[in-house]
Copies of this chain bind each other. A is one copy, B any other.
Amino acid sequence: MVRIAVDAMGGDFAPSAIVEGAIRAVRAHVCDVTLVGPEAEIRAELQRLAGADPWPEIPEIDVVDAPDRIEMAEAPIAALRKKPRASIRVATELVAHGRAAAVLSAGHTGATLVSAHAVLGVLSGVERPALAVTIPTRTGAAVLVDAGANVDCVPSHLVQFAIMGTAFARVALGVAAPKIGLLSIGEEPGKGNDLVKETHALLRGSATGYIGNIDARQLFAGTADVIVCDGFTGNIALKVGEGLVEWLAEMLQAERRADLSARLQYGLNYAAHGAAPLLGVNGLVLVGHGRSSAEAVHSGLVAAARLSTSQLTARLADALAGPRAVC
């Protein structure tokens, strides 16, 4: 059974939602879990939620003490310097030391990124790690990369996102030859900002799966398996969709359409789809949603286990070793 290190203090409903999700995952034989956070607090939650007092020493759920946590309002680099034993950093170190196959955090995304970069380093060929989010489409699902890790990008970053996204899509979507689209404001090659235009020229010349620009209106159309953009644009796109679905769901709920509402909420809440891997660091890092429920944590663990078994990091490393391998 793979073991996943979980930042027990990350997320709006931490640690209880995190611990509850971990218990569920372990009981469902999804994976083993190492919960990282203030040990006494975590053990108390384990006892409370599992109804076991005292909490038995079982190998499936381990606790590693990390007294500090990064708050959402903190600047990540300064906060991590000040709190070397923050839960996210300690959890990431478990991966670096081979004591866990992946780390899952629903906490401060910036702190997760910085920890991953500092503790794990980046794969060869990567200038910037990127967040890949799996979004629902009319025909199934697609991968959006970067979903928010890099707010300012240059074209070479996006080319790397395409390479990494392709490798990830093979694993996450089970697509043998993923189609790569570049998110823009029109399908014509001339449409887009300078970043898009320059990236288009690079991708056209190098990536065989590249199908050109994807109009943002087609984001959910299933036209591409991998949708490439800078992290600012990707995050805007996701959040606009999420906010809209929340609103529509409320409208539908008001009309007693709870079923459809749940379906729509599920559709765009990427936590419900598991969690988003950080591509490009030398180890598996998944980012869940800040408002992760126990269910979301559970599905994040499902994703973490699956990606670990799928050898995602090795596939990424292979992909980055040569464009011919994936493009």
Contacts and interface: CB of A to CB of B under 8 A. Distances in A.
Given A73-B188, A151-B193, A188-B73, A243 B220 contact: yes
Most buried by B among A73, A185, A192: A185
A307 interface: no
Interface string A253-277: 0010000100010001000000000
Contact of A192 (B194, B216, B232, B247): B232
Interface in A181-215: 183, 185, 188, 190, 192-194, 196, 215
A152 interface: yes
Contacts of A251: 260
Interface string A145-168: 000100110000000000000000
A217 B73 CA distance: 18
A316 interface: no
A122 interface: no
A203 to B, nearest CB: 18
A252 interface: yes
A325 B194 CA distance: 34
A236 B152 contact: no
Interface string A34-52: 0000000000000000000
A242 interface: yes
A151 to B, nearest CB: 4
**Majority DSSP secondary structure for residues of A touching B:** helix
Nearest to A137: B247
Interface residues of A, number: 44
A247 B185 contact: no
A1 interface: no
A240 interface: yes
A148 B193 CA distance: 10
A138 B240 contact: no
Interface of A: 73, 75, 138, 148, 151-152, 183, 185, 188, 190, 192-194, 196, 215-221, 230, 232-233, 235-248, 251-252, 255, 260, 264, 268
The 8 residue pairs across chains A and B that have the minimum distance between CB atoms: A216-B239, A217-B243, A151-B193, A185-B235, A217-B239, A193-B232, A216-B236, A237-B240
